[in-house]
Structure 1
Amino acid sequence: MMEVKGITATVIFESSAVNRDEKLGGNITSIKKLSRYDGTYSFMSRAFIRHHMFATFMKLYGWEEAPVTYSQGKQEVLQFKFPDANIISYAEMDFFGFMNTMSSNKRNKRNTKENSNEEGKEKEGSSIVRKAPLGITKAISLEPWQADMAFYANHDLVRRANAQGDNANPNPFQKEEHYSYYRLSFTLDLCRLGYQDIYVAGGDGLTAFKNWLKKYPEASAGELVELRSLRSFPENIKWHYIPNTDNKPRGFVGISDNGNNSRIIFVVSKGEFRERLRQFLTVVKNGLVIHSSTEDYGMVPVFIVLGTLKVPVPVFNSDVRLKNGKVEAGPLNRALGNDYLLEAWYESSLPFDGNLVCGEGARSFKPWAGVDRVLEAIN
């Protein structure tokens, strides 16, 4: 069992409050805000960060969008199309999780005098839930909002219209504004990344899954050697693999079928797991695309602290603070005392307000030495 079970990274970046909220009324656009004892702070939601993080993965590494399905019945259902959308074929499903309702048929006796022995079919659904291995906090400003408001108007369009003989007038509008440093944390559960273990009740959903699985080849004895090296599995599971472009296993799908309640396991190959982890670390370290309403500040860290963990919790999130434009060293030094922390690295273009505990010991911060150094610490 690996000692490193998680990674956490907390970053500070500089941006305007571009994740906006509902209009306050008329042409006044608000920002997302939270209130605390010492003031009001703007924030960018977890869903907003997830969207732009995935957009960055698509631009940089060509991640594909997982397919979705839409149905209308008693209620509209829009969801990822499992099993086509699975953690092996789509890294999006692996990192960010999903939920899917699989239909099944359950036979029930109708309690009527006329047809006491007649049976009918009642459609039911079993939910498949993958809790996201990647936890993302809100990006919360480190400086309070001071009720800034700006006025805008479409002057250039009015000028063009009037130049061609129209009698146009400006359409003024207002926006709440906030420019600040923001704190954002990512925490990745390495025990669940690249792995999904589910149980599915018998019925139409399970039959459809078995038919889907038939299109993939069965894993050979040699391929199972790699699989067994990743973790322990029961012997009664029948394994298939999903190939990559070189026709080598990108990951394995196993099923143990006992008729009524089948166990299904998805496992990403070791090479694919390591590559996804490399991509994640690269994006967190270098920044996200954040382009909203033509404003593009990005999430480019001016400070980052990253650590390997025994338990995947964001140990730095509460201890990354700013004071008079400087990163507070005291709270960060105290974070080193968390027993979950194994190793920690940092990089900053902001000054510190004191001395950070640095060195090669377990209870010290090391200067950032690249993604490969973190990967070495994990393996």
Structure 2
Amino acid sequence: MDLFEYQGKQYFARFGIPVSAGGVADTVEEAVAAAEAAGYPVVVKAQVQVGGRGKAGGVKLANDAEEVRLHAGNILGLDIKGHLVRRLWVEHATDIAEEYYASFTLDRGAKAHLAMVSAKGGVEIETVAEEDPGAIARLHVDPAAGFSEAQARRLVEEAGLPDAAREGAVAILQQLFRCYEEGDADLVEINPLVLTTEGRVHALDAKVTLDDNAAFRHPEWDEYRDIDEFDERERLARSKGLQYVGLDGEVGIIANGAGLAMSTCDVVNQVGGSPANFLDIGGGANAEVMANALEVINSDPKVKAIFINIFGGITRGEEVAKGIVTALGRVTIEAPIVIRLDGTNAEEGREILKGVESDRLISQPTMLDAARKAVSLAGGAAK
């Protein structure tokens, strides 16, 4: 789950990371009130999860209430790379002496956390990595050992941060790692991390991606979910607790497991079709979950065929089949359905499905056969 900047700063503040004083605003008058509370001058910033806000006119400096009204009115409703601005963050403006970069994420290949620090902040880190890779200090952190003050100092020194910023940067790196580890994040990034003209170091921006797998430990994360950012299909899926990503194709996909769902999308593409979505129902292929999944798929008018791809492991095949049959009795489906059922007790499951098979509900023995049939029913020329 990606947080907006203001949410990321709120998350940082929980772990003692210094951020600029500011407030959230959904209207022009709320923006003025937030500016008065933060103290002039302020920066009015569009809250969208996309880069390039400044170049698109989504970040403006304001010296008084009149300028806040002008900028807030112009930014609210602005389209920035397909993202409509509905919310603003208004914060006290910072006098910047220098800009740096700091982040923690997971390096799966190394099976360790990866810390990165650079004296070249304020620009895309990908650009720095491409044009001047030596400007980024990197350090792998053993998850069992944690991140020490000595490691923080080593990073800051290798990155070439000036003496005036080192103590503040070391302290923030330790706080940032706590935010990353204890806060169950996949990524925490400060760009820029700034040294002010007064000699203070603090986070001027915040990028935080939370690990959805840890959501059961964090009921407070519900406040971060902005369902307005999703399209209608994704809003419906989220309301039903489903892992769903909308795509632009004609073959609706339901699979149990993220890996299988991705493979199903791939095989549909392989045989000449185009997936309409990624939908992972996990291990819970019971009647309620299946009915919810079919309802979401059915809400997409572009779907011409549905491919249900289930591999039974702990979930048994006959239970999956019963769930599908029950779900079909609860949801009126517009598109034909192709089912591939394999794994534990798959034969028993297929026998159950035979009782409801028709030209609108077709069982296929393999994933490839099922993909070809689904693509054909969707009107494509299956390979």
**TM-score over 0.5 (shorter chain):** no
Q: TM-score range by the shorter chain?
A: under 0.3
More strand by share: 1
More helix by share: 2
**TM-score computed with the length of structure 1 as normaliser:** 0.23
